[in-house]
Amino acid sequence: MDTVQVDLPNGSYKIYVGTGTLEKLGEYLPFEKKNRLFVITNDLVGPLYGNSLVESLQQYGYKTLYQQVPDGEEYKSFASAEELYTCAIKGGLDRGSAVIALGGGVIGDLAGFVAATYMRGIPLIQVPTTLLAQVDSSVGGKVAVNHPLGKNMIGSFYQPRLVFIDLQVLKTLDPREVRSGLAEVIKYGVIQDRGFFNFLEEHLAGVKALDLDLLSAVVKKSCLIKGRIVEKDEKERGLRALLNFGHTIGHALEVMTDYRVYRHGEAVSLGMVAAAEIAADRGLLAREEAERLAKLLANAGLPTVIPFSADEIIPLLSRDKKAQGGRPRFVLPLGLGKAALFDDVEEAEIREAIEKCRKKEE
Ligand SMILES: NC(=O)c1ccc[n+]([C@@H]2O[C@H](COP(=O)([O-])OP(=O)(O)OC[C@H]3O[C@@H](n4cnc5c(N)ncnc54)[C@H](O)[C@@H]3O)[C@@H](O)[C@H]2O)c1
Ligand SMILES: [Zn+2]
């Protein structure tokens, strides 16, 4: 199986990428057989893959504990975490046990949070089942639950012991979720790797059709790019912030629509188009490159026209958790394949970019 390695001071880990490999996870776990594994999933993914995963782990000789939470972002909560702690205590989970997070980013973040805090931390295995989770949320160690007053407000950095990706499971994913994950994939090309951006332009149709060879290339490259960035800046003191390309305005759009209108990648797509517009206006990015980005996103089936006014969006920007001293921070592309962080973007520039992204409608 292919692997991508992430090297960090407090432990390195491998990301395994394969096809049809889910039931072989037991072979790759670094634990003694007497240890108990706590498989956490949701009530959509569980019936598809949970039962067979648990059976396979038992066949490898592991004792297991299994719990499903309801499907949905609203269950990435303290209440769910508490239920999972209860289940863990009743099931005799101890320091030698491990948590296996089987699902998309919601389960990865929630189960990761539980692993990070249960008995001050037990090993975490990420088994991401959405494209977004495979290319983004399962790598890098951010775990969190939501608070009623804000998303991802309570959390930690807690790296997994390993990440186990089976591309085959993407076949049951809603195509809209695939497109949402593609936004983050395209983001990696823009901020870090021009060759990868070109590759995506060339092979997008095959990737969207879930061609397994192409998916394998795309997922490995994405994990590699994210892994390298996390290695250099695990706790987001600088470089890691580049991963927020498209997220400043994207996040504002998610908040103003109460997370009900856009999938995360869709909001990020709009945010990337707007940020590219700002960069083009500053002369950092060629117009033609900004257009290539918008075209690639549109071909991926992602939105590129912002249906809200600058007046609606701008007030939300300074409230962003990542804003510094009330000033929004923007990652702007410096050509395709390179980006930098700016905290001097003027309101007028943002306004103009947003208005341009609205007009494209005509
Ligand atoms: N930790 C990080 O670094 C990080 C990064 C990005 C996003 N996130 C978090 O990730 C979450 C979003 O993750 P997501 O987009 O994966 O959403 P999600 O976990 O809600 O999954 C999307 C939908 O797909 C379903 N699903 C999952 N796998 C499936 C499969 N193989 N077949 C069929 N259906 C499947 C899920 O049940 C859900 O209905 C957010 O909470 C976000 O905050 C975290
Ligand atoms: Zn994102």
pLDDT tens per residue across span 38-51: 999 999 999 999 99
Helices (H) and strands (E) in the chain, counts: 14, 11
* Residue 288 burial (CB count, 10 A): 8
The residue whose two tokens read 């039931």 is 23
Which residue lies with its CA nearest to atom 9 of ligand 1? 105
Q: Cβ neighbours of residue 196 under 8 Å, at least 6 residues apart?
A: 188, 189, 221, 225, 337
pLDDT attached to residue 320: 67
Angle between helix 264-281 and helix 347-359 axes, rounded to 10 deg = 110
Which residue lies with its CA nearest to atom 14 of ligand 1? 105
Is there a contact between 99 and 121 (Cβ–Cβ < 8 Å)? Answer: no
Is there a contact between 44 and 175 (Cβ–Cβ < 8 Å)? Answer: no
pLDDT attached to residue 348: 95
CATH topology of domain 2-172: Rossmann fold (3.40.50)
Q: How many residues does the chain have?
A: 362
The pair of three-digit structure tokens given for residue 228, joined into one six-digit string: 């390298």
Segments making up each domain of the chain, as ranges: 2-172, 175-359
- For residue 333, what are the β-bridge partners? 339
Cα-to-centroid distance, 333 and ligand 2 (Å): 16
pLDDT attached to residue 264: 96
Please compute, for residue 57, the number of CA atoms within 13 A of its CA located in the half-sphere on the CB side: 27
Nearest partner of 62 among 123, 130, 129, 16, judged by Cα: 123
- For residue 100, what are the β-bridge partners? 39, 125
Which ligand neighbours the alpha carbon of 142 most closely? 1
In this structure, whether the domain defined by 175-359 belongs to CATH 2.170.120.20 is answered with no
Q: Which atom of ligand 1 is nearest to the CA of 44?
A: 37
Question: How would you class 11 by CB atoms within 10 Å of its CB: exposed for 0-12, middle for 13-18, buried for 19 or more?
Answer: exposed
Is there a contact between 314 and 347 (Cβ–Cβ < 8 Å)? Answer: yes
pLDDT attached to residue 11: 85
In this structure, what are the phi and psi dihedrals at residue 124, rounded to the nearest 5 degrees?
-120, 130
Cα-to-centroid distance, 147 and ligand 2 (Å): 18
The pair of three-digit structure tokens given for residue 231, joined into one six-digit string: 């290695």
Question: How do the residues of the chain divide into helix, strand and coil, expressed in percent and rounded to 5?
Answer: 50, 20, 30
From residue 92, give the alpha-carbon distance in Å to each of 54, 98, 296, 322. Answer: 17, 12, 50, 39
* Residue 293 burial (CB count, 10 A): 28
Which residue lies with its CA nearest to atom 3 of ligand 1? 137
From residue 148, give the alpha-carbon distance in Å to each of 23, 74, 100. Answer: 37, 9, 26
Evaluate whether 2-172 and 175-359 have a shared fold: no
CA angle, 275 as apex, 271 and 280 as ends, to 5°? 145
What is the gyration radius of the CA atoms in the chain, in angstroms?
Answer: 20
Residues within a 6 A CB radius of ligand 1: 42, 44-45, 48, 71, 73, 76, 103-107, 109, 129-130, 132-133, 136-137, 140, 142, 152, 169, 172-173, 177, 180, 264
Is there a contact between 251 and 264 (Cβ–Cβ < 8 Å)? Answer: no
From residue 65, give the alpha-carbon distance in Å to each of 25, 26, 92. Answer: 16, 14, 9
The ranges of the chain with pLDDT < 70 are: 320-324, 360-362
pLDDT attached to residue 318: 74
pLDDT attached to residue 323: 64
